[in-house]
Amino acid sequence: MSSPFVESTMNDAIIKAFEESVQAKKSFLKENLSTLVLVIDLIAQAFIGGKKLLLFGNGGSAADAQHIAAEFVNRFRIERKPLPALALTTDTSAITSIANDYDYKDIFAKQVKALGKEGDIALAISTSGNAENVLAAVAACKELKIISVGLTGGDGGKLAKRADYLLCVSEGKNTARIQETHILVGHVICEMVDQKLFSP
């Protein structure tokens, strides 16, 4: 049985985590609202034009890429037709063969070159903004005239200067708080795109 002191310390830590998460989201919104609105419009217009959304990242960001892609392909909150979104984190045969035959930094770039087309949108997710394979994929996007959106944190890292549009959780350096904001951003993108495309 834990002591009152331990419970009090745990309570404080839990409250702090929630407060940090809320603050990260508030700061993100203040700094990125206009860019987020623009990105939502770009994604909606890409879907209208028969283009697709490509998503990629590592670790928790890979999970976020898959999560957001699934919301578009299946549905988010309303009944509507599937929308073309593809997470480049799911094909284990492609990922492992590229990593084995070439280099791990190429795992997304080669898929972008194989699957991407001019006019597509890429959501490049990296909490630090310095993941080499994400940066290589963004470079491939530029070659193919695919619009890249960097979803990152802290100072944005190298991705800040290489993505066409930047959505950055600048509040603190805590990866968990950054990722919590990223998935909210993904959900907001899904909901707003749905409203733009399917509201009566």
pLDDT digits (tens, 9 = 90+) for 160-173: 999 999 999 998 67
What's residue 89's pLDDT? 98
Q: Per-residue confidence at 8, pLDDT binned at 50, 70, 90?
A: confident
What's residue 165's pLDDT? 98
**pTM across the whole model:** 0.94
What's residue 199's pLDDT? 86
Give the whole-angstrom CA distance, residue 48 versus residue 29: 26
| Mean pLDDT computed over 138-165 | 98
Residue 13: pLDDT over 70: yes
Strand duo 147-153 + 121-125: pairing: parallel
Residue 1: pLDDT over 60: no
| Mean pLDDT computed over 182-195 | 98
Bridge partners, residue 125, by sequence: 151
Distances (CA, A) of 16 to 11, 12, 20, 22: 9, 6, 6, 10
| Mean pLDDT computed over 78-91 | 97
CATH of domain 4-198: 3.40.50.10490
Domain boundaries, the chain: 4-198
What's residue 5's pLDDT? 60
| Mean pLDDT computed over 83-101 | 98
Q: Nearest-5° angle of CA 166, CA 68, CA 128?
A: 40
Question: What is the distance in angstroms between the CA of the first residue and the CA of the last residue of the chain?
Answer: 57
